[in-house]
Each structure stands twice: as structure tokens, then as C-alpha cells.
Amino acid sequence: MPQMGVSVAEGTVVEWRKQPGDWIEADEIIAAISTDKIDTDVEAPATGRVQELIVDVGETVEVGTVLARIATDARPGEAHVSEGQSSAGGTSEAAAAMESSGEAGELKGDTTVREEKAPARGPRRYSPVVMRIAAEHDVDLEQVEGTGRGGRVRKQDVLAYIEQGGGEEPPMHIESPYRPDEPAAAKTRKPHFDAPAAEPGPAPEPAPAAAGSAPLSRMRQAIGARMLQSLQTAATCTTIVEADLIRIEAARATSGFTYLPYIARATVEVLREYPALNATLQDDTVTTYDGVHLGIAVSLGEGGLIVPVIRDAQELSVEGLAKRIKDLAQRARGNALTPDEVRGGSFTITNPGSAGSIMATPVINQPQVAILDTEAVVKRPVVITDELGNDSIAIRPMTYLCMSWDHRALDGVAAAQFLNALRKKLESWPTS
Amino acid sequence: MTYLQAISDAMREEMRADERVFVMGEDIGTFGGAFKVTDGFIDEFGPLRVMDTPLAESGIVGTAIGAAVEGMRPIAEMQFSDFISCGFDQLVNVAGKMYYRQGLSVNITVRLPSGGGFSGGPFHSQNPEAWFMHSPGLKVVAPSTAEDAKGLLISAVRDPNPVVYMEHKHLYRRVKGDVDGGTYETPFTARLAREGEDLVVITYGAMVHTALEATEDLDGASVEVLDLRSLVPLDEEAILASVRKCSKVVIVDEANQTCAAGAQVAALIAERGWEDLDGPVVRVATPDVPIPFSPPLEQAVLPQVDDVREACRELLEY
């Protein structure tokens, strides 16, 4: 079990991609594993023939445990161990390889593998812009017909495919879907953070009946353990302020970004003024940080939730944050984050407002001391006061900024001051 | 007004408006210059502001630097851009580094009549702009239209840095356009010569006209042409904006290919435009050979309309 980043202690084998007797090249993927941080692939450390799979699928072992053996002195032309001999057992790995090499010298085994590897047509290669557009719109490029040279997929091909309705816009936007008067028959959005909902039955049953049961996924188990541990460790309190985002909305009108990068940028700036919240608490020791390593919770739909970290977020502009958030979210959904990208945060923002909720009490991401929850932006009538002191009622895009914080590390006044500074920053955002 | 008249007009108007401005060069006085750019100047401004110099480019540039440090705004003419090699040390090492070393502004403009296409042979046809792009402290501009020829020259004269002004000889009397009277400045930024969506040709100088002609009717394709106008500073945002929109790029240089201005553009796109590309960055440039005197040979080495058209067609089909 390889060391995947410093904080991972154990991992579970999810799938073996090779079986004993298969030939494997160095860096070829041999297995898929899952850790409490991340799902990833394991590459073979050496070229050879897979000798033995030691850890079964579903088994959890510590980092450093031997997962499988590869006979590195085998040659691709040799027969499979399984073909060469019945599993005698007790043979040492070197001996097994030697014996098989002695028994069969023809190319039988290997040619089969090679043929399987080479598909009828070569793998399609895509230009950078085509891959970027495909990633942004969740397009499976294999479905796109290419009109370029040799059937190459060109930019206009993937754009035309999207135009016709192919692909899907990923749920990145936190624009409020909150519709208080929506008729009951309207389509319901699936909340991002819920466990898989049961399929509605065709007719109402007289008594509650289970619609199905399944074991918790490894991801759900990990999330559950961490959330429970946080609630049992921290003295969690939640403070809420209300902010008027009309100036952010004006800025968004020109940039086209979601609210999130603006709130992230403002949070980072205010955290620099209130380092008590940009901190971790471990064993009676509070550590505050100069830089802000900003965690952004990314929903993986039914798969769960992951919190990639933007290191030194204070060095990024709104544009830079928008780009980074998008990149991390895409890679999170593509299972392409590295373990070190999901650790080491000093503050976290979670953003379930896209599902329509207007208020929540988030659970602190340990060992951090606070987590900010951004909720749906909703038009509300509010009283505003002009510079002469006259009050009037206006319709403004309002949101609640909900922050859970650890009473062991700080007091309510500090939390309120921080949130108020954040509110002021958002409400005085420069419009240019 | 022709491109050449626009250059004359820029100098004349700026000399009328600012008495610190004067011109100097070989045979520019009584003779009016090899290309007659300063024809009649000596009658209007007199020999003190229209200085004939010895055939010594090093001396011309050096004298201009001295005058600029004393507060003047000299415009030095090289008879052909090729001859600047004799003044290279003064321009690159003295003018280019003066502000860095001593904090002194060297407000000189060096006019370089450049480019081929008229059987000038290897000493009278070169495009040496990349020499100066590679040398910190110098700005390099290269107009393609009469309007920009005037505006960029006035901007160059007013810019506190040494500016190398590439004027293309082949455009002198072939390019005409409406030019405003008086004085006006053209910023050192790129200009969209034509808007398009399917492919962008990025170029400057005489090749802007080659690119426009080559892509005017290209099987119905919508081809953008970006005229860089300024090589230092290079308008990176304009380049990247065109790449973002079109995703396919042809870069045309009349200069020899290796390390030409277009090489810098290609490198920029590779670094910062990668995710917008839908095909390889294609370059059309003069191969790394001297410019031949023989007309058919010269045509064979300089990028022609058909070369650009073929490159665009290939890339569009990719």
C-alpha cells in the first residue's frame, strides 16, 4: 500500500486490474485503491509478470503492506504461471517464475495480451481546447463525431455536439434556485449532500416499506467518521450574519463568475485581519497561519463530498480563485486530486446554497477552528438608509453567511466581528 | 496619402509642434533622403534641424544619444535598416542600457527602412527587428498602414525610451490611406485588421497585406488578421484573445524564421494559450537564408500570398 500523501495511514483495495499471470509494464495501473482522503490508482513499480495478489478486494491494510508480487525476472514471451503449472503452492516467487520459464518458451501468453491491448482503431487524441470544452461540459468525447482530418474531433465538432444537447453543465453555480412559490409538481432538485434517495414506488404502500438497502460506501463511512469526530471534539457554535450582495452581483455581471470566488476572496482578505479564525486547534495548542490555505467543499453528488485545498489563496485574485475552484471541482469529480491537495487547510468554505437552502449549521473540518457556509442568494425586501439618513425599502439579493466555530479556540465576539468584517467587505465591493 | 508621405507628415508636424525634434541621417538634407522621405525639409527647417551626416551609422546613433541626453528628441534615419549593424553597439549597448545604468532617458527614434520584395539583394532587404526585440531597453514598432505609420512615429518620438521604428520600403508607395492632419499618437498595441472566428493570422508590417489578401476569400472561412504594430512591447492580451476566439493560429514573418518576432508569439501561445488551441501553431516565414537579388529567387524565399493561403487551408482542415 503506497504512501499517498503524508496523512494517509491505510487504504482499501477496490479493484485489481491485473490477475496473476498477467504481464505488466512499470507504471501501468495494477489496482484501484480507496483511502479516507481519496480514491486513486496504484501503478506497478516494476515491469514483470503478476505473481500473486496478496490483499483481496475490500480488504483494508496499512501503508507499507505488500499488496502483490511481480516477478521481475519473468519475460514477456513466457507462458502464464497458471498455464504452466497447477497452483502447487508454497513455491517461492522466484522459483515460480523460474519454473514457468522452463516449461514454455513460446509466445502464446504474451500475444494474447498484446492483441487485447491494441484496439481496432488507435486511441483518439484531442487538442487542448477540445479537451477543455469537453471537461467543462462533461462531454464524453468518444460520442462526438469528428469532421477534421482522419476523423479528428475539432473544436467546432464538440461545440456542435453541445449545441445539440450533448453533455451536461456541471452544477457549479450557486445562483439561488430558491423558489418559494414553486408548484409542487415542478421538478425537484436533488440535494447534493443527501444519501441516495429511495426510488418512489409506483403506488403508495399502506405501511412504510424499505425500498432497498445497501452498505455505506467507503467515502460515506469516512465522511461519517470525520463529522462525528468533529462534533465530539469541538465545542461547535454557529453565528450568522446577513449580507447584501448587490455590489457582488454587479461585479458578477461583467465577470460571469459565480458568487463563490468573490466570497472566497473576501473571506481570505478578512481572515488576514482576523488570524484567530485562520487557525487549527490540536491538543490544547492553537496554531495561526500567515497564509490562507482555503478548503472548498466540493459535492461529488451521490458519491459524497471532498474538500480540496487552495494553498496560499491570499495570492490569488477573484479571477485566479474562480479558475482554481473550477479546476479543483472538475478534478475532484474526475477522481484526479492528489492526496496532498485535500489536506493542510486552515479554513473551509462550504457552499450548499445551490440546492436552495438558506441557512445551515456546518460541521467544522477538524482540526480547523471555523467553517463558513454560504447559502442561497435570495431577493428580499430590506430597509436601506441613504447618506442623509432616509430609510427606504428596496429589493436586494440577500444571503446568510453562516459560520460554525470552535468555542474552545475563540469566543462569540471574535466570530461576530469576523463575519461583520466579511459582510462589510462584500457590501463595499468595488464596482468598476 | 501614401505610407511614405505619412512618415514625412509625422516628422514635419512633430517638428513644427516641438522644436526639440530634429532629423539626421545620410543624404537627408539637400538630397531629401534616399527614398525622399525628408524631401523639402531643409527648406522649411534649415540645416541645423535637418542634419546631413557622414556615412557612419555608429556616429549617427551616438550623436543622437548625446543630443537626447541633453533634452533633444532626435530622429535618426538609417538609409537601409541593414546598415544599423554598424551602429549596433551605440544602439544596443549605449542607448538601450543608459536608463538602467544611469537613469538617463534616451529619447531617440531610429527609423529603419526595412524589408524586401524589390530585388534589393542581401544588404538592402533585411528585417532585423528581432535583433532589437532581444535587447532590453529598446522598443520596436512596425506599422502596416499609412495611418499607423504617422501615429506610431509620433508616439515613438514622444516616448522617453529609444524606439526602433521599422518602416517597410515595399509599402512606401503601394499603401495609401486616409491620414488625419496635425499630430496624433497611435498606442503601442495590436490592431485587428480583420475580425474572424475560424482561424487567426498574426503578423505585422508588409505581411499584414499579404495575410489579408491570402485570406480574403478562403473557401468561406472566417479568418481574423491581427496586426501586431508593436513588437516591444508585445500586446500579449490581444494575441491571447484572438487565440481564445479562433483556436487555430498561423503566424507570418517576413524576417528569417529562427528567433523571429513570430517565434516569440508562438512561444507565448504555447505557454499561455495552450488550452485554447485546436491545432498546431503554424508559422510561415522566410527560411534562414540571405535575401537573393534574383527576382524569382527572392519570390521563392519571401512568404507569398499563396504560401499563406496554403498554410491557412491546411490548418483549417486539421
Q: B165-214, pLDDT tens digit by residue?
A: 999 999 999 999 999 999 999 999 999 999 999 999 999 999 999 999 99
Residues in CB range of A168: below 8 A, 6 or more apart: A137, A138
Instruction: Kindly state whether A132 is in contact with chain B, defined as any CB-CB distance less than 8 angstroms.
Output: yes
Nearest CA in chain A to B244: A129
Please give the pLDDT value at position A302: 75
Grid coordinates in use for A315?
495570492
Of A190-204, A205-219, A416-430, the range with the lowest mean pLDDT is A190-204
Q: Are A357 and A272 contacting, i.e. CB atoms less than 8 angstroms apart?
A: no
Please give the pLDDT value at position B203: 98
Condensed to tens digits (0 to 9), the pLDDT of residues A380-394 reads 999 988 888 899 999
Which residues of B are part of the catalytic machinery?
A: 124
pLDDT greater at residue A48 or residue A406: A406
Nearest CA in chain B to A132: B275
3-state secondary structure of A12: strand
Of A109-113, A279-283, B44-48, the range with the lowest mean pLDDT is A109-113
A171 pLDDT above the threshold of 90: no
Condensed to tens digits (0 to 9), the pLDDT of residues A330-346 reads 888 887 888 788 888 99
Grid coordinates in use for B41?
525639409
Contact A149 B277 (CB under 8 A): no
From chain A, the residues in CB contact with B275 under 8 A are 128-129, 132
Find which of B278, B313, B315 to mutate to test the A interface (most A CBs within 10 Å of its CB): B278
Q: Are A60 and A362 contacting, i.e. CB atoms less than 8 angstroms apart?
A: no
Please give the pLDDT value at position A224: 86
B233 pLDDT above the threshold of 70: yes
pLDDT greater at residue B108 or residue A214: B108
Nearest CA in chain A to B248: A155
Residue in A129, A149, A152 nearest the CB of B247 = A129
A151 pLDDT above the threshold of 60: yes
Please give the pLDDT value at position A45: 83
Q: A278-287 long-range contacts, Cβ below 8 Å, gap at least 24?
A: A278/A346, A278/A347, A279/A346, A279/A368, A279/A369, A279/A409, A280/A346, A280/A367, A280/A368, A280/A369, A281/A234, A281/A367, A281/A368, A281/A369, A281/A406, A281/A408, A281/A409, A282/A367, A286/A369, A286/A409
Of A52-61, B2-11, B86-95, B135-144, the range with the lowest mean pLDDT is A52-61
Cβ-Cβ contacts under 8 Å between A and B: the total is: 26
Please give the pLDDT value at position A207: 61
Alpha carbon distances (Å) from A5 to A16, A28, A104, A396: 22, 20, 42, 45
Alpha carbon distances (Å) from B97 to A377, B105, B215: 56, 10, 41
Q: In 3D, which of A382, A311, A301 has the Cα closest to residue A341?
A: A311
A189 pLDDT above the threshold of 60: no
Condensed to tens digits (0 to 9), the pLDDT of residues A193-207 reads 544 444 554 554 556
Q: Decide: pTM greater than 0.80.
A: no
Nearest CA in chain A to B314: A149
From chain B, the residues in CB contact with A130 under 8 A are 278
Residues in CB range of B23: below 8 A, 6 or more apart: B11, B15, B38, B41, B49, B50, B51, B74, B75, B76, B77
Please give the pLDDT value at position A94: 39
pLDDT greater at residue A343 or residue A418: A418
What's the mean pLDDT in B67-77? 97
Please give the pLDDT value at position A24: 86
Residues in CB range of A4: below 8 A, 6 or more apart: A11, A35, A37, A38, A40, A63, A338, A339
Nearest CA in chain A to B316: A148
A95 pLDDT above the threshold of 50: no
- The percent of residues above 70 in pLDDT, for chain A, comes to 76
Whole-angstrom Cα distance, residue B214 to residue B226?
14
A83 pLDDT above the threshold of 60: no
Please give the pLDDT value at position A110: 41
A181 pLDDT above the threshold of 60: no
Q: Count CA atoms within 13 Å of residue A247 on its CB side.
A: 15
Q: What is the ipTM of this complex?
A: 0.76
Pairing of strands A279-282, A294-296: unpaired
Q: State the DSSP string of B15-83.
A: HHH-TTEEEEETT-STT--TTSTTTTHHHHH-TTTEEE--S-HHHHHHHHHHHHHTT-EEEEEPSSGGG
Please give the pLDDT value at position A101: 39
pLDDT greater at residue B147 or residue A330: B147
What is the average pLDDT value for chain B, to the nearest integer? 96
Contact B275 A154 (CB under 8 A): no
What's the mean pLDDT in B253-269? 97
Residues in CB range of A208: below 8 A, 6 or more apart: none
Q: Return the amino acid letter for B34.
A: A
The C-alpha angle with vertex A415 and arms to A413 and A420, in degrees rounded to 5, equals 90
Model confidence at A90, pLDDT cuts 50, 70, 90, reads very low
Q: Which residue has the cell 485566479?
A: A320
What's the mean pLDDT in B285-301? 96
What residue ranges in A200-274 does DSSP mark as E strands?
236-244
3-state secondary structure of A238: strand
Of A117-126, B72-81, B111-120, B147-156, the range with the lowest mean pLDDT is A117-126
Largest CA distance in chain B: 60
Residue in B274, B317, B318 nearest the CB of A128 = B274
A170 pLDDT above the threshold of 50: no
Q: In 3D, which of A126, A191, A193, A134 has the Cα closest to residue A168?
A: A134
Q: Return the amino acid letter for B101.
A: R
From chain B, the residues in CB contact with A148 under 8 A are 317-318
What's the mean pLDDT in B40-54? 96
Chain B neighbours among A 183-242 (CB < 8 Å)? none
pLDDT greater at residue B198 or residue A302: B198
Instruction: Kindly state whether A151 is in contact with chain B, defined as any CB-CB distance less than 8 angstroms.
Output: no
What's the mean pLDDT in B265-289? 96
From chain A, the residues in CB contact with B279 under 8 A are 127
Pairing of strands A236-244, A391-406: antiparallel
Model confidence at A167, pLDDT cuts 50, 70, 90, reads low
B298 pLDDT above the threshold of 60: yes
Contact A148 B274 (CB under 8 A): no
Grid coordinates in use for A424?
462589510
Residue in A128, A148, A154 nearest the CB of B275 = A128
B136 pLDDT above the threshold of 60: yes
Model confidence at A78, pLDDT cuts 50, 70, 90, reads low
Model confidence at A84, pLDDT cuts 50, 70, 90, reads very low
A173 pLDDT above the threshold of 60: no
From chain B, the residues in CB contact with A155 under 8 A are 247, 278
